[in-house]
Amino acid sequence: QVQLLESGGGSVQAGGSLRLSCVASGFTYTQYSMAWFRQAPGKEREGVAALWIGGGSSVYADSVKGRFTISQDNTNKKKTLYLQMDTLKPEDTGVYYCAADFAMSAIDALIAHRFPEFRHWGQGTQVNVSS
């Protein structure tokens, strides 16, 4: 059973930084897609950044380009996805979700610089940025 466990959320002032982590387990794929999404109060969930694990292609929302970096670390038998968030703004506030998918269509979407559809989701971690 696929499990995604996020951590690293918290409260920070505008201009500060946070690093989110997502530990993935329950699968043995070596090529797959993972992403970070967020949902602000009263708004729809939106893609923040996505990454082709094993291939390297990535996609970022325009609102976070140059400020956020998605990366992964598969050493020590743990699959961990990170989101380094710098120069945070109050509009970055929301619940951040980790997502994964193992379909080739998801990888194809990343190669085409589009956010794929994801079928596996974590529970989310709250990020609050104050002005």
Q: Mind giving me the DSSP string for 67-80? A: TEEEEEE--TT-EE
pLDDT tens digits, residue range 5-43? 999 999 999 999 999 999 999 999 989 999 999 999 999
Instruction: Tell the residue number behind the tokens 């505008």, with chain if given.
Output: 14
What's the token pair of residue 26?
A: 């329950």
Q: How confident is the model at residue 77 (pLDDT cuts 50, 70, 90)?
A: confident
- What does the alpha-carbon distance between residue 77 and residue 80 come to, in Å, rounded to a whole number? 10
Hey, which residues does 7 pair with through a beta bridge?
21
Q: How confident is the model at residue 125 (pLDDT cuts 50, 70, 90)?
A: very high
Work out the percent of the chain whose per-residue pLDDT is above 90: 94
Q: How confident is the model at residue 56 (pLDDT cuts 50, 70, 90)?
A: confident
- What does the alpha-carbon distance between residue 31 and residue 18 come to, in Å, rounded to a whole number? 27
How confident is the model over 74-94, as a mean pLDDT?
A: 93
